[in-house]
Amino acid sequence: MTVTKEKTLAEKVRADFPILHQEVNGKPLVYLDNAATSQKPLAVLNAIRDYYEEYNSNVHRGVHTLSAKATDAYEAARVKVAKFVNSALTEEIIYTRNASEAINLVAYAWGMTNLQRGDEIILTVMEHHSNLVPWQFVAQKTGAVLKFVELNQNEEFDLEQFKKLVSDKTKLVATVYVSNTLGCINPVKEICAIAHHYGAKVLIDACQAAPHMPLNVQEIDCDWLVASGHKMCGPTGIGFLYGKQNILRAMPPFLGGGEMIADVFLERSTYADIPHKFEAGTPAIAEAIALGAAVDYLTNIGMDKIHAYEAELTAYLCEKLQQIPDIRIYGPKPDQNGEGRAALAAFTAGEVHPHDLSTMLDQSGIAIRSGHHCTQPLHRYLNVPSTARASLYFYNTREEIDAFIAALKETIDFFGGMFG
């Protein structure tokens, strides 16, 4: 009797990603920089090509056939995104260039108009710069005060400190769902419940969550949630903002121009309803349609399956890294099933500089990230100038992790000989 071994998720999908089938520096490419950006399946690449080859036209502004087809595809993608995050209403999804723009939209359209001197904004020390700098702008302009949740002993969101920090002065809590450096998964549902008890609004940065786990904005009960398309198999240049309908309708427009208007007079204008009120000018049509294709692709696989497979890889990656002397992984440890942290590991290797590690690994065809990962304040908090980071996605394999670990050991040994 022949027993056929069931294919892993990666084995089932790798053929869909043309970029993975190449050599870099004479070695098979091992792409482990997925927290920076993901690779794109043929379904997404074809969606972009098909738009430009078959129905390239501006949306909403024409009655001719090409414009109608483009508009239908553009708005159908919005419906897909709304379903992907379980938004109650399609108009609660605003297209943006990326998550950074989505956060800035909220900062300017809500923060600048609702916050005043003495109001408090609670952030965390682990935030990406995109969820720090806009609120610094708001604080400088309005006189609001920034407060910061620190890390507990497991290098996770310190929920007990947060409970002491939040008060009637708190007007906004803005936090990452999954840290792109620590890999910790923050208790966003509980954070929202606590913040709402004090009447504060909550914004969730879901850039590292949306590609890897099911999202449910109604269950989380956040007021806003942002994500970037390029991290979830979509193209660059497109992201989205989810916002509760009543809050979005109360916010003034962020940018002025075509599409966001109802009527324009020489001295004044009236504005369109959401979502178009926040989508001034010709949008990224091809990119939005391709984002819809990416959502279809992920949904057809199943976000639960993606999360489960990545948990297996996470357990394997952390186990192998921990066997190497001098390796220090930042963030919480996963359990034996790989649950409890995201599928990434930011680490240091003794005296070896992360940039040198990354450069040497590239010679073996292995792509990882080195630097501060747009979390400079977190690195200062951890008292480390930079880290190396290997980040996984569902098309990665155990064999790729093995290749990474072998090359990492060789690199550490090489520099150990120099330092020794």
Rounded CA-CA distance 6/333 in Å is 29
- Exposed / middle / buried, residue 69 (Cβ in 10 Å: 0-12, 13-18, 19+): middle
Rg (CA), the chain: 22
Residue 130: pLDDT band (50, 70, 90) is very high
Res. 223: pLDDT tops 90: yes
Q: Is 148 helix (H, G, I), strand (E, B) or coil?
A: strand
Rounded CA-CA distance 388/355 in Å is 7
* Structural element, H or E, at residue 79: helix 65-84
The two tokens of residue 256 are: 């002025």
Averaged pLDDT of the chain: 96
Rounded CA-CA distance 209/178 in Å is 6
What CATH code is assigned to 45-300? 3.40.640.10
Res. 351: pLDDT tops 70: yes
pLDDT in tens, 240-273: 999 999 999 999 999 999 889 999 999 999 999 9
Residue 415: pLDDT band (50, 70, 90) is confident
The pair phi, psi for residue 178, each rounded to 5°, is -130, 125
According to CATH, the topology of domain 9-32+302-419 is Aspartate Aminotransferase, domain 1 (3.90.1150)
Rounded CA-CA distance 28/130 in Å is 34
Query: What single string gives the DSSP state of each residue in 14-43?
Result: GGG-GGGSSEETTEE-EE-BTTT-----HH
The two tokens of residue 12 are: 């089932």
Res. 1: pLDDT tops 60: no
Q: Is 374 a catalytic residue?
A: yes
Rounded CA-CA distance 173/191 in Å is 8
Contact in structure between 347 and 327 (CB atoms under 8 Å): yes
pTM over 0.75: yes
Query: What single string gives the DSSP state of each residue in 180-239?
Result: TTT--B--HHHHHHHHHHTT-EEEEE-TTTTTTS---HHHHT-SEEEEEGGGGTS-TT-E
pLDDT in tens, 352-390: 999 999 999 999 999 999 999 999 999 999 999 999 999
Whether 9-32+302-419 shares its CATH topology with 45-300 is answered no
* Structural element, H or E, at residue 160: helix 159-165
- Exposed / middle / buried, residue 296 (Cβ in 10 Å: 0-12, 13-18, 19+): middle
The confidence score (pLDDT) of residue 416 equals 75
Helix, strand, coil fractions of the chain, as percent rounded to 5: 45, 20, 40
Closest C-alpha among 329, 353, 351, 352 to residue 340? 329
The confidence score (pLDDT) of residue 388 equals 98
The pair phi, psi for residue 92, each rounded to 5°, is -80, 0
Strands 224-228 and 201-205: parallel
**Residue 108 DSSP one-character state:** I
Rounded CA-CA distance 232/239 in Å is 10
Of the residues 184, 207, 222, 374, which is catalytic? 374
Res. 126: pLDDT tops 90: yes
Domain locations in the chain? 9-32+302-419, 45-300
Q: Is 82 helix (H, G, I), strand (E, B) or coil?
A: helix
Contact in structure between 179 and 331 (CB atoms under 8 Å): yes
Res. 3: pLDDT tops 90: no
pLDDT in tens, 33-78: 999 999 999 999 999 999 999 999 999 988 899 999 999 999 999 9
Contact in structure between 195 and 188 (CB atoms under 8 Å): no
Contact in structure between 228 and 207 (CB atoms under 8 Å): yes
Give, in degrees to the nearest 5, the angle at Cα 376 between 373 and 314.
40
The two tokens of residue 384 are: 């480390």
